[in-house]
Amino acid sequence: MSLSQSIQYAKELDDQDPLSHFREEFYLQPNNIYMDGNSLGLLSKKAESSLLQSLNDWKVNGIDGWTKGNEPWFYMAEKIGSMTSSLIGARSEETITTGSITTNLHQMLSTFYKPEGRKTKILADSLTFPSDVYAIKSQLSLHGLSPELHLIQVKSDDGRTIKEADIIAAMDDEVALILLPSVLYRSGQLLDMKALTKAAHDKNIIIGFDLAHSIGVVPHELHDWGIDFAVWCTYKYLNSGPGGVGGLFVHDKHLGKRPGLAGWFSSKKEVQFDMSHDLDHATSASAYQIGTPHIFSMAPLIGSLELFQQAGIDAIRRKSLSLTRYLMDLTKETLQPFGFSIANPTKDPQRGGHICLEHSEAARICKALKANGVVPDFRSPNVIRLAPIALYSSYEDVWNVIQILQDIMSNQKYKDYSNERNVIA
């Protein structure tokens, strides 16, 4: 065994890790290695504390918690939006915490998709998360347009990644709007958002991104890149909890644009309770809220984002890349004889925060991993996703995962399980 394959090397890396102390902020379970933070992040003590604070505000203040609590609910969405803005390179007024990723996507499509003349089509990719396609198709149908004719999905050459050049080539004069993921959810490919945005704007096309698999693990410069809009969830890398509230970004060149889907919280706050039937909408990203904020799914973000402010997104990115690089190196040295292949991009600028391993027995291997104290993520038909998280995963965790996988394969423990996904994979 080489030094780089040894447990001593992993411990040395942990000793040199400037973010290692953040691990103490999270509720990690004994004899369990959590590698699924790209689907649901773990609870931190700060997130728990900020949720309990809002519960206490309700207990003590009742309805006055909206304006007089320790964290007044009426302004919470804006506060958290401002806390989030540094992670995505946005201005505070461009960012709001609201809704869910799909309702926010409907809001953005309703606001920005304006088919006219020849420009009627929406451009997406063939590997994007299904809910984004559902939203696009339903918006096309609401406009009386056929999804079969007006949705363009750029194909993948290998079933794993999309070439930016192919996306740009599909930007013709019939495309009105483009929606793409920042990171492809299966393979972890990180798209070049800056280049894609420039190409879209050169052809007078609105472009937006789904940041579900990049926010909290990859730095962005949404304002400087000129991206028109973005949406995201917060329960993955941002650790807000199951079903946690979503968020959206609208570039300030569009602020003041009337929301496509108007609602109670689209109003300017100072006139919201005038109860006029004519909406006087906010001139910030607050305008793109719809309903009353979901306070108890929002409150954990206050504590969680404090950790991100302390750690810094650039340091998080450096450690994330180092962890995934270490995981790939150990996989190549240890697991390839067992039929594993690395399906994610290996170059740092093209990789998000998780590793994608392919294996014909992936479903049963994931079940065996869980039975042996590792929480992975399975994607049909043959993908194992592993996400070492910068704030709470260690290099020793990564080393142990590889040893457990080696034992599962060497002793064929995976054969104790069926090669079919569970209801929730």
Each domain of the chain, given as residue ranges in start order, spans: 3-30+312-416, 49-310
As a whole number of angstroms, the distance between CA 289 and CA 25 comes to: 31
Closest by Cα among 68, 18, 71 to 47: 71
Q: The domain at 49-310 falls in which architecture?
A: 3-Layer(aba) Sandwich (3.40)
Task: Look up tokens 């950790």; give the residue.
Answer: 307
Q: What is the DSSP letter of 215?
A: T
Q: What pLDDT was estimated at residue 255?
A: 97
What would the pLDDT profile of 358-373 be if each residue is shown by its tens digit? 999 999 999 999 999 9
On whether the CB atoms of residues 335 and 415 are closer than 8 A, the answer is no
On whether the CB atoms of residues 126 and 156 are closer than 8 A, the answer is yes
| 3-class secondary-structure state, position 197 | helix
Residue 223 phi, psi dihedral angles, 5° rounding: -65, -50
What is the enclosing helix (H) or strand (E) of 151? strand 151-154
Paired with 231 in beta bridges are 210, 248
What would the pLDDT profile of 164-177 be if each residue is shown by its tens digit? 999 999 999 999 99
Q: The domain 3-30+312-416: what is its CATH number?
A: 3.90.1150.10
As a whole number of angstroms, the distance between CA 190 and CA 161 comes to: 9
What is the enclosing helix (H) or strand (E) of 195? helix 193-202
As a whole number of angstroms, the distance between CA 174 and CA 120 comes to: 6
Closest by Cα among 392, 388, 383 to 127: 383
As a whole number of angstroms, the distance between CA 257 and CA 266 comes to: 11
Compute CA 383 distance to the chain's CA centroid, rounded to the nearest angstrom: 18
Distance in angstroms between the alpha carbons of the first and the last residue of the chain: 34
Binding residues: 101-102, 129-132, 210, 213, 235, 264, 292
| 3-class secondary-structure state, position 244 | coil
Binding residues for pyridoxal 5'-phosphate: 101-102, 129-132, 210, 213, 235, 264, 292
Closest by Cα among 111, 59, 46, 63 to 261: 111
Q: Using omega within 30 degrees of 0 as the cis cutoff, is the peptide bond preceding 381 cis?
A: yes
Degrees, nearest 5: CA angle 171-246-124: 15
As a whole number of angstroms, the distance between CA 163 and CA 75 comes to: 41
Q: Which residues of the chain have pLDDT under 70?
A: 1-3
pTM, whole model, 2 decimals? 0.96
| 3-class secondary-structure state, position 320 | helix
Closest by Cα among 80, 51, 62 to 297: 51
Q: What is the DSSP letter of 346?
A: -
As a whole number of angstroms, the distance between CA 375 and CA 352 comes to: 19
Q: What pLDDT was estimated at residue 46?
A: 98
On whether the CB atoms of residues 74 and 268 are closer than 8 A, the answer is no
- Tally Cβ neighbours within 10 Å of residue 353: 26
- Side by side, the strands of the sheet bearing 206-210 are 95-97, 247-250, 229-232, 206-210, 175-181, 121-125, 151-154
As a whole number of angstroms, the distance between CA 419 and CA 378 comes to: 11
On whether the CB atoms of residues 251 and 85 are closer than 8 A, the answer is no
